[in-house]
Amino acid sequence: MTNDYLEIDILTIFPDMFKGPFSESILKKAQEKGLIKINLIDLRDFATDKHKTVDDYSYGGGPGMVLKPQPIWDAVKVIQEEEIPLPLKIIITSAQGKIFNQEMAKDLSKEKRLLIICGRYEGIDERIPQLLDAEEVSVGNFVVSGGELPAMLMVDVVSRMIPGVLGKEESMVNDSFYNEYLDFPHYTRPDEFKGFKVPEILLSGNHKEIEKWRRKQSLLRTLIRRPEIFANKKLSKKDLDLLKKLEKKINEN
């Protein structure tokens, strides 16, 4: 059996951290529309001792604690054995994982059920990713206190990929990285602010020329700010010609 929404389970020792971000703005509306369903699961509920212990010392010594395998394993088994089982994609937040990006978000948005296990302390017992066939994912080359903030970020990005979550689908299509380039500049009223004017082309009403300008600005911004995006990327002849002209202009200046 399948559902017609994305169900997201989040396994964490701090479920209350999610209540604010998930009860506001786009994520709140997406849940109200029935497009996503978010289940916050407290890992401590699966501890077997009276103190609800979910971590222990690391074998071999060293500072910091490690999340024990048993509570995580038991929690996942309960999720997998529910009355209406669904194919379950399991993600573990980890600084050692594959870097999360827009393409990964697109793929995850097509899943029916997603489980995000939030890492903490020195990490999760190494046997868990192997036993669960889980994918370790990082949100960047930096370290945070735990996997809760990365999980919030991933849920937000993935949810935006689901049809109906955003008011206008073109908002998603024009986002930076959705089409692999950075977004073009945006302006709103007034036409002039503190001596800075909105580009005349945007006030012209000529939608064909506006689209050309936006494409050029998108390529230019990507070239200046994130040139590595063009590495090993096959460009259309039109974009390639435009990019060469932009590079020439930058070099001349």
Per-residue pLDDT tens, the chain, 253 aa: give them. 457 899 999 999 999 999 999 999 999 999 999 999 999 999 999 999 999 999 999 888 888 899 999 999 999 999 988 755 567 999 999 998 999 999 999 999 999 999 999 998 888 999 999 999 999 999 999 989 999 999 999 999 999 999 999 876 545 554 544 467 888 899 988 999 999 999 999 999 999 999 999 999 999 999 999 898 888 778 888 888 888 888 888 888 7
CA atoms within a 13 Å half-sphere pointing along the CA-CB vector of 27: 19
Rounded to the nearest angstrom, the gap between the alpha carbon of residue 36 and the centroid of all alpha carbons in its chain is 15
Residue 118 three-state SS: coil
Intervals of CATH 3.40.1280.10 along the chain: 6-169
User: Is the domain defined by 175-252 classed in CATH 1.10.3720.10?
Assistant: no
Q: Cβ(37)–Cβ(165) under 8 Å?
A: no
Q: How many CB atoms lie within 10 A of CB 125?
A: 19
pTM: 0.83
Cα–Cα separations (whole angstroms), residue 121 to 18, 46, 67, 76, 207: 19, 18, 7, 20, 53
Intervals of CATH 1.10.1270.20 along the chain: 175-252
**Six-digit token string for 14:** 């701090």
**Six-digit token string for 52:** 């609800």
Candidates 3.30.450.40, 3.40.1280.10, 3.40.50.10540, 3.40.630.30; CATH matching 6-169: 3.40.1280.10
